[in-house]
Amino acid sequence: MAKRSLSSLGAEELRGKRVLVRVDFNVPLNEEGSITDDTRIRAALPTITHLIDKGSRVILAAHFGRPKGQVNESMRLTPVAQRLGELLGKTVAKTDSCIGVDAEEKVNALSNGDVVLLENVRFFSEEEKNDADFAQKLASIAEVYVNDAFGAAHRAHASTEGVTKFLSPSVAGYLMEKELQYLQGAIDEPKRPLAAIVGGSKVSSKIGVLESLIDKCDKVLIGGGMIFTFYKARGLSVGKSLVEDDKLDLAKALEEKAKEKGVQLLLPTDVVLADNFSADANSQIASIDSIPDGWMGLDIGPESITSFQRSLSDCATVIWNGPMGVFEFAKFAQGTNSIANTLAELSSKGCCTIIGGGDSVAAVEKAGLASQMSHISTGGGASLELLEGKTLPGVAALDN
């Protein structure tokens, strides 16, 4: 069901109105409390600046970290308000609490085009419980609701789902709209051939997404630590590589399902091995049927990179979720970096390339190729759940 978006609201529906915007400002901080990556803050700017330009009184709600329902001084949103102010070129007020007298007073003091950031909503345990009274208090300071926090849309929390029962209209912000357009569009109405590249260390965390993608894709390419569970299921020796022994039958079933559906399921044919899990480990390249005892696979090999590149070359849509190896170690980053470069090249030829959240986003940004992809998703778990075909509560709650 298509959801109503911010662009559907006319000037008269926004001017002078108090608009509650759920944003995803869960950014990384260093030990000094400074923001090390402001991508998520910048991603919300199109929605925030649109509301400022339309003369709305903008009230931002966000979570930060996992304070477990109590005030944690290290998880206050103070550095976020400061950084947002710098990006907007104007002062962003911040409340001491997301509900209560201070929040009400600061919201009432807003003029048209002003912005206030409510303190961390997760300082209240009622947020994650989706408590109706708490949601009503949060909603009581506003008249319109905009959800632009795709990264939290897979959670039915008070600030993502509960408030929609008390605020109308409730619409998707520009970032949310873009996420749904690309991720949902790639699954529901893709330009074909459609390929998915799935990486990461464990099959267990990607079961749902693999099953769903085998149903929808023409090709599924698998990399990362999970490949060794597939190899062991085939009866191959994997040395001391990471294996989930309780998922061997599942790996066999996934290969069987792909075969039945005529989907090309591609696993690496060679791997880069290490004698221990460290950046300076000794390494060697081996075929998957000759992995020696005492060695572990930490990346896909050069032959596999070439075969993956060949398979992707004719694709019109590619979704990538999860790295090909331990890209944090330079020695074992070649597979991940090669896939990133291949997708950047495909993008330039008109292929729709979608980086579906999590570590693959970090890998693409580390390679300096983020701007060359069609879409970089801001959601980790939310991206996975959408690709699995699950309903996201934060999206379902918005106006149709």
Q: Write out the catalytic residue numbers.
A: 40, 202, 358, 381
For residues 35 and 79, the answer to whether their CB atoms sit within 8 Å is yes
d(CA 353, CA 355): 7
The residue written with tokens 């000037």 in the block is 11
Residue type for position 178: K
Q: Report residue 289 as tokens.
A: 């049927």
Overall size of the chain counted in residues: 400
Sheet containing 283-287: give its strands across. 283-287, 270-274, 296-300
Give the CA angle between residues 306, 318, 368 to the nearest 5°.
Answer: 75
d(CA 357, CA 361): 6
**Which residue stretches of 288-333 are H helix?**
302-312
**What are residue 5's DSSP bridge partners?**
172
Residue 246's region, left for phi above 0, alpha for psi from -120 to 50, else beta, is alpha
Q: Report residue 360 as tokens.
A: 């693959």
Is residue 352 classed as helix, strand or coil in its secondary structure? strand
Number of Cβ within a 10 Å radius of residue 82: 15
